[in-house]
């Protein structure tokens, strides 16, 4: 809605409409905590959406998104990841890349639990590499923090520091709130054959 020129008032009308399924969470907030709390929530959501579109450009097709993700995989796999922390960061980044491929673009949703399981690391280790390697290095941006069963909203970058390059790319044709577990995936995620690199094999953390 923000991308096509809507307003916060439009979003408010939509989410508070009694017959709109997407507004159930907002209406529950209004019932539990009052209308003002629900309006505060909508303002936060709108601010987050407005910020996201100011630094992203929509991808117009699935083919274009796959090309972007394939290029990201090449960049990730050919980047030197030094030391134990670097190798762990690579495993976490590969997990996010898998989620992005399932979602159909760099914008994707993932909880801490899902990412830790996918990467084979502890949640403590996951938080450390987020804060010390991946987020400062421009590989990942958390656009919105998840709550409860709702995963955080992430944007997969290309290793450029946010704010020092051009606008990033975002898919608008498909997304998934909860990346499926391995045994529920309908098919393998899009992958290119991995090129041999000098990166030593990942070791258990």
**What are the helix and strand counts (H, E) for the chain?**
7, 5
**pLDDT, tens only, 84-101:** 999 999 999 999 999 988
Over 90: is that where the pLDDT of 61 sits? no
Mean pLDDT of the chain: 76
- If pLDDT is split at 50, 70 and 90, which confidence band does 189 have? very low
Q: Residues 88, 89, 95, CA angle at the centre, nearest 5°? A: 95
**pLDDT, tens only, 2-53:** 766 778 888 888 888 888 777 888 888 988 989 899 899 988 888 877 776 6
Better-predicted residue by pLDDT, 154 or 46: 154
Interatomic CA distance for residues 175 and 183, integer angstroms: 19
């Amino acid at each position: 809605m923000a991308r096509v020129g809507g307003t916060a008032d439009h979003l408010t009308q939509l989410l508070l409409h009694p017959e709109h399924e997407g507004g159930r969470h907002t209406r529950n907030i209004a019932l539990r905590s009052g209308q003002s709390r629900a309006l505060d929530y909508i303002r936060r959501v709108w601010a987050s959406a407005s910020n996201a579109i100011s630094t992203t450009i929509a991808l117009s097709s699935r083919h274009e998104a796959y090309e972007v993700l394939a290029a990201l995989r090449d960049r990730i796999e050919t980047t030197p990841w030094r030391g134990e922390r670097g190798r762990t960061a690579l495993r976490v980044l590969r997990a996010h890349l898998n989620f992005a491929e399932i979602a159909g673009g760099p914008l994707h949703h993932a909880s801490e639990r899902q990412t830790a399981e996918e990467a084979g690391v502890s949640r403590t280790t996951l938080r450390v590499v987020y804060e010390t390697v991946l987020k400062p290095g421009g590989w990942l941006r958390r656009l919105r923090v998840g709550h409860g069963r709702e995963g955080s909203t992430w944007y997969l970058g290309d290793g450029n520091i946010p704010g020092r390059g051009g606008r990033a790319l975002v898919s608008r044709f498909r997304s998934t709130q909860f990346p499926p577990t391995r045994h529920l995936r309908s098919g393998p995620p899009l992958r290119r054959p991995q090129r041999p690199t000098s990166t030593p094999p990942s070791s258990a953390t």
